[in-house]
Amino acid sequence: MCSIFGMFDLHPGDDLAQLRQQALACSQRQRHRGPDWSGVFVDTGVILVHERLAIVDPASGAQPLRSRDGALALAVNGEIYNHQDLRSASGYDFTSGSDCEVINALHREGGDASPGEWIARLNGIFAFALWDGAAQRYLIARDPIGVCPLYWGHDRQGRLCVASEMKALAELCADVRAFPPGHVYDSRDGSLRSYYHKPWRDYAHTQGVRVEPSALRAAFEAAVHRQLMTDVPYGVLLSGGLDSSLVAACAAKFARERIEDGDRSEAWWPRLHSFAIGLEGSPDLAAAKVAAEALGTVHHGFVYSFAEGLDALPEVIRHIESYDVTTIRASTPMYLLARRIKAMGVKMVLSGEGSDEIFGGYLYFHKAPSAQAFHEETVRKLDALHAYDCLRANKSMMAWGVEARVPFLDLEFLDVAMAMDATHKMAGVQADGSRRIEKAILREAFAGALPDSILWRQKEQFSDGVGYGWIDGLKAHAEQVVSDRELAAAASRFPHNPPATKEAYFYRSIFERHFPGEACAATVPGGKSIACSSPAALEWDPAFANAADPSGRAVAGVHEAALA
């Protein structure tokens, strides 16, 4: 994964040399995402800058990627997991082994078709800007879930600018905003269109559909296998929870062979390394050790102190570009872990984000009144992921040049897991009076793959699992540094999305120092918490309305009451 910066709609009288330097300066603010190389492309209508983190084809995949005739220039942040299939079906004259070059090929061979038609063929995580000099046309697109971040806005002269992170645009564009996932902008007609349309978004299309546990398992193993595409050292994030442990189990199954040559040769780094972090005595560190021993990974469990986490907060907020309470709590240990991973020479990790959204793993899903309500809530949460867990995983890790891949959000796996009738996913009290744990269908699919203590471990949010002292300490610190008077006047200081707690006020103050202005603040969704802000969830249990704290422990007593 990398970073991109683009400036479009340049004026005939523009000083290209001056604008080139400005573009380089903006791109440099996100160079932590791509420390391996910088590339620049300048034409009469466009400037593209790319900061590269070399994962696939490190020898020849430098960007912007140019077509043989020089007409196309492409800057991409991301990975295309089905690039070999797309490449073998193409007659395009490729110039590199980069997985991302298939985007140029699809555009060239797509002719006058809507770009959404060929973009929808990509299975990957991506944000790209493509310039077609022959047509004087550009395309900007983002992957369907929004795993890769992308922002856009206009400078004072009306030029359109895009960047992987907001910090590259905050001083340049007064109207900076997030580019929507699953959309493509086409300069030919000035349109912004959605290209990701799936029948499973409508519950009616899933009714009566059953996916056998064996099919679900095979689909997820295939997703992990695809995402092991790498030419550099990699590992897995292992918190000891169900999701990360399943990712690790599948990765361990395929670690010995090199994915990029069809499993025909031994992997360059055949021992799978796993990584965990927590406060001293945290639940995650203990569980991760159990999972790692069962899977035979080379495990690295790191301990951080509360003071180290608190010291890192200003940099964490600057990197993740959010003031959301849950996101910051979970991003801080992840940011510290990324630094440790980087120091060990690892450039890519697999992570477990997305499972809770697909399978209803958050504890409040126990209160879902019907399969339809359950399904609609999973769709809503998938639509919101780009602003929460995807943002956290991507920006926390990329702060240190470590790429995080998320197999649960693999687009082919999504089509399997989301097509299933939510009746088979539901948790809580069943018709016969028994209780069913969240994500039971996923646990059943992987019976025997993990110790039962891991496979059937109760859900905990990452920020809880690293140690309850982390959240409790943050609240106590905020009580000390934010006065009652300041919180009472929060709506005056922060009219957009005013903070409701002292902890939220503390984070918002730090965010404002890095990203002043209402446009930057508006890129962060509102609401008390992603777990409790859904109107549907409030209907399920009115107690959610009073849950100002988004910790898993605070969800209507579900955590402590064993789902009472």
φ, ψ (nearest 5 deg) of residue 438: -60, 145
Instruction: Report the 3 state secondary structure along 2-18.
Output: CEEEEEECCCCCCCHHH
Element (H, E) at 81: none
Whether 520 is a known active-site residue: answer no
CB atoms near residue 194 (< 10 Å): 12
Name residue 193's beta-bridge partners: 184
Query: What is the gyration radius of the CA atoms in the chain, in angstroms?
Result: 23
State how far the Cα of 381 lies from the Cα of 360, in Å rounded to an integer.
Answer: 9
Q: Are 487 and 502 in contact (CB under 8 A)?
A: yes
Per the DSSP assignment, residues forming a β-bridge with 405 are: 350
Question: What are the Cα distances from residue 300, in Å, to 236, 308, 345, 402?
Answer: 10, 19, 13, 16
Q: Which of 151, 156, 185 is nearest to 168 (CA)?
A: 151
Distance (Å, whole) CA 105 – CA 157: 33
d(CA 224, CA 234): 13
Q: Which H or E run includes 49?
A: strand 46-52
Residue with tokens 């796993």: 274
Q: What is the DSSP string of 346-403?
A: --EEE--TTHHHHHT-SGGGGG--SHHHHHHHHHHHHHHGGGTHHHHHHHHHHTTT-E
Task: Tell me if 8 sits within 8 A of 160, measured CB to CB.
Answer: yes
466: left (phi over 0), alpha (psi -120 to 50) or beta: alpha
Cα separation, 176 vs 440, in Å, equals 42
Distance of CA 429 to the CA centre of its chain: 32
Distance CA 70, CA 49 (A): 16
3-state secondary structure 498-556: CCCCHHHHHHHHHHHHHCCCHHHHCCCCCCCCCCCCCHHHHHHCHHHHHCCCCCHHHCC
ω into 64 cis (within 30 of 0): yes
Rounded Cα–Cα distance for residues 378 and 115 (Å): 28
Q: CB-based contacts of 364: which residues, under 8 Å, 6+ apart? A: 531, 532, 537, 540, 541, 544, 555, 556, 558
User: In the numeric block, which tokens belong to residue 133?
Assistant: 């000099």
Residues involved in catalysis:
2
